[in-house]
Structure 1
């Protein structure tokens, strides 16, 4: 296990996107049939739409399409069907929906990846615009089916590299991403969590022997000034990951939220280095750690 502690200061001059603008996220979905307590077994279907976005450094014309089964696809600029793209499967934070991928991916990269956003398992508003990731075993099974369906849908519609599928998520979505990746370690090239814990690690649905053989690469990104950050929890989860011999890199940031462009830029570079480039996460042996001091950028 490798634990690289790489805390960084947020650079306010690079696309300051510390919070999502919620008003941008709910205007593409309308379903009055959902209620606050509904835990959906299967997501509703919606029509397709195209959306363009403006970046501070120019125009973003990536294709963003809402598709059946509560999935939203992000297609990179100048999409080339003969190139097999890495795929980032994105699990949104609580209170949002699958369209969050439209706002995250342009700050990761407009050209390097295909992306697909997956809807959470429990509607929390009557209009059916906002969803949470419920933590019950049944809801986790539903979430896993939705992720596997999204991967199949993306690979059938677009040119996806089968060995470069990354499962990533933000806060509770990051927790769900880790849980699903540990259930299916052979399916994913890596798992990434922005401010999400491992949750119920070591549960009966996780094959620990399979995890040890796979040595799943992981990136954990934490803002150490956030209310959800716990050094004690982090230490316990590192101990679990050491037990299953996963390759893990931990990056800590001196701010109160993981959703900023420095974090997303680091995510892009990590995937390009370790998933696309094939560089090992471990340095010398599985138990290495290489902490670094806070960046003064």
Structure 2
């Protein structure tokens, strides 16, 4: 299987271009617009408390309780739920990690099966608390290496993963974003100094044929990451979606190299990346 079916597995049925529209906004921009419209119309804020505790576990084959596993905390794409981790992990590794999927706060369909991330203050605070609680629950049930916790996500889940990791840089060994944008969190001078000292390792995986790919935006994001001294590795792929087996295989190798084996992550300039259609790790 070289590629997942993006329509039936990963995409929300509501993710369609409006009639007459000739472009689709980046997922983060779309969420910002939706949030602003709800607030301006006087709509009630989402009830974030309803989703707290929604979590799925992925346990590796031949789980050994005496071995401390790296933990992947997975934040799903909009239009899916915490069970996405069970679709993803077999293509990353069925043996190397304990993993847990965390549900986004806002329901995006009437049946309550699809959920979305939001950029509102309340939603970000909810997501942050939910991720930290999910880590504690996982560590209480399974053998997890406290210094090898990786926060990863797909599309807006990747954006949220990077945001939360930067708010708690000491808690995470790395942050990984598949197709998500990079946004610096609003923080004090002291917190910014903490980020610079931590130099959080990050892996950004981008598909250059995606409708959301923007070279100008990527350069701006690299500059923002450089401003806090983050160790960023960027991998670009010649396809239109990051959710495929080559990307997930690269994710596994990157974690094993840089988190488990401790190899340094080079600080990249915009000219250090090259598009590939296969793993060249």
Q: Please indicate, yes or no, whether the TM-score normalized by the shorter chain is above 0.5.
A: yes
TM-score bin, normalised by smaller chain: 0.7 to 0.9
Q: 1:254 to 1:22 in 2, by over 3 A?
A: closer
* Aligned equivalent of 2:186, options 196, 203, 206: 203
1:40 deviation in Å? 3.4
Deviations 1:14-34 (A, max 9, x none): 5432527449x9xxxxxxxxx
* Contact 2:105 2:123 (C-alpha < 8 Å) held by counterparts: yes
Q: 1:142 to 1:205 in 2, by over 3 A?
A: farther
TM-score, reference length from structure 1:
0.77
2:94 alignment partner in structure 1: 110
* Cα distance in 2, alignment partners of residues 222 and 287 from structure 1: 15
1:183 deviation in Å? 0.5
RMSD: 2.3
Matches within 5 A, 1:154-193: 154-193=138-177
* Contact 1:18 1:257 (C-alpha < 8 Å) held by counterparts: no
SS in 1 for 2:4: coil
* Cα distance in 1, alignment partners of residues 8 and 55 from structure 2: 20
* Aligned equivalent of 1:41, options 32, 48, 65: 48
* Cα distance in 1, alignment partners of residues 188 and 50 from structure 2: 24
2:25 alignment partner in structure 1: none
Higher helix share: 2
2:122 alignment partner in structure 1: 138
Q: 1:293 to 1:193 in 2, by over 3 A?
A: closer
4+ aligned runs moved over 6 Å, structure 1? 287-290
Q: 1:196 to 1:187 in 2, by over 3 A?
A: same
1:76 deviation in Å? 0.5
* Cα distance in 1, alignment partners of residues 196 and 248 from structure 2: 28
TM-score, reference length from structure 2:
0.82
* Contact 2:205 2:247 (C-alpha < 8 Å) held by counterparts: yes
> Number of paired residues?
246
1:292 deviation in Å? 5.7
Unaligned runs of 5+ in 2: 13-43
Unaligned runs of 5+ in 1: 1-13, 26-36, 45-67
SS in 2 for 1:42: helix
Higher relative contact order (CA 8 A, sep 6+): 1
* Cα distance in 2, alignment partners of residues 42 and 91 from structure 1: 17
